[in-house]
Amino acid sequence: MRIALYQGPAGPHAPEDNLARLEAWATQAAGQGADLVVFPEMFLSGYNIGAQAAAERAQPADGAGFKHVATTAQRLGIAIAYGYPEAGPDGAIYNAAQLVDSQGQRLLNYRKAHLFGGLDRAMFTPGDGRFVTAKLNGWNLGLLICYDVEFPEAVRHLALAGADLVLVPTANMVGFEFVADVTVRARAYENGCYLAYANYSGPEADLTYCGLSSLNQPDGTQQVLSATEEGLLFSVLAKDALAACRQASPYLLDLRNDLYGLPHPQSI
């Protein structure tokens, strides 16, 4: 499977402007043979926008933003993962991400479980941590959002649920480059999976994002964009390479699940 990660500026743009940007970059990704393109956290609204704007721009999971993305995915024949503010049926606002397949069907809707600092907590209700996977083109995929990946338990639960690839839309800032450089590589290696980390670059209000979007291999190697680059990062995922890494480092098979109250691996 060939995937693309988009990295570029965030902005407090209107949702229709961000949908137009998503469509333009998805068109480029599809034109270069990608089966899946991943966009950063809260891509449809901007991230550092405050509680009032987050509430105003929030939409239901099946709202107008989803319908536009689904139509784009179907027209281009490419799967799309993107972040957005979700208006929950309970009235809460969630920091969410969706995975839509090339037929325009929603495969996953995930709500950020670990909220980062006052900025996140002022805007959102935390998700309930349903770490589930969905199948795309014969691969098992899971979703996390930004700070979630810094908790090893989150990625481990997805790996035990059979994830071959974990998608992480993010809005990681200057000062936290260690996460982009080291943490995500370690998560891929220790769980025997691929991990796609799609970040912003440049300023948004009083934040500056550190870029360094990456595709992390199950052997711990990393393809990465520069800190300031805008564009697409492409990578090809290979089942034989995945199997070889899992055989060489069988952490999930050797894990003493009984010691930690973890489920047994579903598909390794």
Is 193 labeled as catalytic in the residue annotation?
Answer: no
Q: What tokens appear for 248 in the block?
A: 């060489």
Selection from 194, 31, 166 nearest residue 97 by Cα: 166
Catalytic residue among 23, 86, 112, 190: 112
Q: Are 2 and 34 contacting, i.e. CB atoms less than 8 angstroms apart?
A: yes
Is 146 labeled as catalytic in the residue annotation?
Answer: yes
Catalytic residue among 86, 146, 210, 245: 146
Q: What tokens appear for 183 in the block?
A: 């943490």
Is 67 labeled as catalytic in the residue annotation?
Answer: no
Cβ burial, residue 65 (10 Å; 0-12/13-18/19+): buried
Q: Are 44 and 57 contacting, i.e. CB atoms less than 8 angstroms apart?
A: yes
Helix axis angle, 15-31 to 64-76, nearest 10°:
20
In angstroms, the Cα distances linking 218 to 33, 85, 189 are 23, 31, 5
Catalytic residue among 41, 86, 150, 204: 41
Q: What tokens appear for 79 in the block?
A: 């799967």
Q: Are 61 and 74 contacting, i.e. CB atoms less than 8 angstroms apart?
A: no
Catalytic residues, which ones?
41, 112, 146
